[in-house]
Structure 1
Amino acid sequence: MHSIHPTRQKLRVSVTRRLPEPVETRMKELFDVALREDDSKMTREELIAAMQGSDVLVPTVTDHIDASMLAQAGDRLKLIANFGAGVDHIDVTTARQRGILVSNTPGVVTEDTADMTMALILAVTRRIPEGLAEMQAGRWGGWSPTSHLGGRVGGRRLGILGMGRIGQAVARRAAVFGMQVHYHNRRRLRPEVEDELQATYWESLDQMLSRMDVISVNAPHTPSTFHLLNARRLKLLKPTAVVVNTSRGEVIDENALTRMLRAGEIAGAGLDVFEHGHEINPRLRELPNVVLLPHMGSATVEGRAEMGEKVIINIKTFADGHRPPDLVVPSML
């Protein structure tokens, strides 16, 4: 097959982090691609240089692209094809004003993140890390009728904060475990979706929080969700309640959560994301009733490969002069 545009240059694509090997290899076949040698995070200066010298930038959640960086990007950059679904690290509005399109990879992480949400709910309520620590330290003295007592998941009320794709996938899993599903969302789901999920809608987040046994945060980080679970709202929770977050750390006031967990005002927490990236409150790390994971929610071999495929399709569609299928528009944010 001969190309219809034999003279057309391949797009110059800059990738900011190491991606799975099959994804990098396919990108090399299709584009004039600059890959990373090591998996270190690009500095601000390196990101600006990459934007200035490329038609397409492929960043990840660790690359913060703000208005002043976009102002220095020059005229060559036309597409930011994000490797990941969340785009809260990119100033999408400014990018669009400067004629730069932004695409993401929605839907790919849904099932994997929902699996991890259930894993955290089980880990906290059944005290798995405490048991693990005891075994690893060689402290186990044998079975006893009263030791390691956790709580039964079935019959508990789960309050899902954010009922998008991932929230709904969590609801499906939770129902199978016998949990009662409740949710708060910007918009109420259609009646038939609500029926299918057997989910109860709460217009008032405060009212929902005060009645739940488990809270799962599945909302994106936007200006309106920053510290949505602030100190006042966390105080509404029952002292037996558990909080799980697999979305974005900024949705919870981490210091307030830490204080309440230390004081025994909340029974436990399972966190895969943190308010200040990988800088975690050291007092949070010491608590036995808290499960901390290093942002692993979407970390499956299959998920990362699918993410890469979506990025490639977005770039290829753009290269062919069409609208990328996963275009992010400011009204979606």
Structure 2
Amino acid sequence: MKPTILMAPRMPARLVARLQERYEVLGPMSHPRPAALPAGAEAARALLTVGTWKTDAALIEALPNLGLIACYGTGNEGVERAAARARGIMVSNAADANATSVAEFAMGLMLASARQIGAAERFARAGRWQGNAIERMATVPGLAGRKLGIFGLGAIGQRIAVRAAAFDMTIGYHNRSPRPELPYQYHASLLELAEWADILMVSVRASGETRHAIDARILRALGPDGHLVNISRGIAVDEAALIEALESGTIAGAALDVYEHEPAIPDRLKALENVVLTPHIAANAESAQVAQQELLLANLEAFFAGRPLLSPVAL
């Protein structure tokens, strides 16, 4: 008899097909609350979810046989860790499986914002370009020689730093603790990093501690020539404060792949010319998706075989 697992949000079709070969797969759920649990969910030994879905104590308690919460991506902020820990439930995630893909995309967003690629495309599409001798876009600083401040120098942040160094940028970072083995300038606070940086890259792990870490004070410190790039989670940025900063010229621009209340993007944000918006696709490279799926399958296999998880999350 196949073990029963519960798929909370809908997963990629390729992954679902492979899961169904080995497990009795229930779901997806219409919303992450006990009332949406499908028939037979009480037998589920593993719950497949994503970090942005709320896996709270009520949902955990409604699954009496649950032993593993397996997060498809790297984020696990939606999991109520205390509730999982109290039940002895293990949690896994995708570790650094998508780190290269996200770092690549982060560089694209940084270029798009700092070099005004989106504005340039709109300029060209509108037929305003009649040759550079007539009307041309204003010049902007290049990336060479500029200071990139990375908030969160984990697997993704480190890959961004390596790529930014190839653009001849100076790299600084703020982390929970210094990384003396890495050749980048450590800043003891996020405020100090923002004051130093020309471009502030948010790649920190989302948590209660980092909620609204990027607030009005940090944006003022970044300054009128500064750019903000967020490929972390939307909750790391106070979205209302960011909109005010963009509208008022407190900062020069921003590039966002994540939002505070996904999938909603505020109309005021969409109306701005100095922001680049993408729909949470930094990890959408084929290589990253395959790696995430293989790791999730491997964690499930290890769990049901009684072996240690490949990418456990500390609770």
Which TM-score band (shorter chain)?
A: over 0.9
Structure 1 match to 2:131: 142
**Counterparts of 1:103 and 1:204, CA distance in 2:** 30
Give the structure 1 partner of residue 42 of structure 2.
52
Secondary structure at 2:222's aligned position in 1? coil
1:64 and 2:54 correspond: yes
* Distance (Å, rounded) in 1 between the aligned partners of 2:47 and 2:79: 12
Query: RMSD of the TM alignment (CA)?
Result: 1.9
Report the alpha carbon displacement of residue 147 of structure 1 after superposing the two structures with TM: 2.1
For the pair 1:20 / 2:12, whether they are aligned, the reply is yes
SS of 2:200's partner is: strand
Task: Count how many residue pairs are aligned between Structure 1 and Structure 2.
Answer: 313
Shift of 1:143: 3.0
Bigger CA drift: 202-211 or 136-145? Answer: 136-145
Output the CA distance in 1 between the equivalents of 2:55 and 2:38: 9
Aligned counterpart in structure 2 of residue 233 of structure 1, from 191, 201, 218: 218
> Are 1:181 and 2:164 an aligned pair?
no
The answer to whether the Cα contact below 8 Å between 1:24 and 1:35 also exists between their aligned partners in 2 is no
1:203 match: secondary structure: coil
1:160 maps to a residue whose letter is I
Deviation by residue 1:207-226 (Cα, 9 ceiling, x = unmatched): 22112100000101112111
The superposition leaves residues 218-256 of structure 1 with CA deviations (integer Å, 9 ceiling, x where unpaired) of 101112111111112221122100000000111111111
> Structure 2 CA distance, aligned partners of 1:54 and 1:31?
10
- TM (norm. structure 1) is 0.88
Match of 1:118 in 2: 107
1: distance between equivalents of 2:237 and 2:205?
12
**Which position in structure 1 is the counterpart of 2:275?**
290
Report the Cα offset of residue 111 of structure 1. Answer: 0.5
Structure 1 CA distance for aligned equivalents of residues 175 and 14 of structure 2: 37
Deviation at 1:61, TM superposition (A): 3.2
Question: Which aligned segments of 4 or more residues in structure 1 are displaced greater than 6 angstroms?
Answer: none
Using the alignment, how far apart are the partners of 2:153 and 2:284 within structure 1? 21
Q: Where does structure 2 lack aligned partners over 5 or more consecutive residues?
A: none
1:283 to partner: Cα distance: 0.9
SS in 1 for 2:47: strand
Q: Which deviates more from structure 2 when the two are superposed, residues 250-259 or residues 45-54?
A: 45-54
Give the conservation status (yes or no) of the 8 Å contact 1:57–1:77.
yes
Q: Match for residue 169 of structure 1?
A: 159
Cα offsets for 1:164-183 (capped at 9, x unmatched): 11110000000001100000
Contact 1:80 / 1:101 at 8 angstroms: preserved in 2?
Answer: yes
- Stretches of structure 1 that go unaligned for 5 or more consecutive residues are 1-8
Matches of 2:3 and 2:265, distance apart in 1: 39
Q: Which residue of 2 aligns with 1:280?
A: 265
Identity in percent: 35
Post-superposition shift, 1:109?
1.1
Confirm whether residue 105 of structure 1 aligns to residue 90 of structure 2: no
Q: Tell me, in whole angstroms, the C-alpha distance in 1 between the residues paired with 2:98 and 2:273.
A: 29
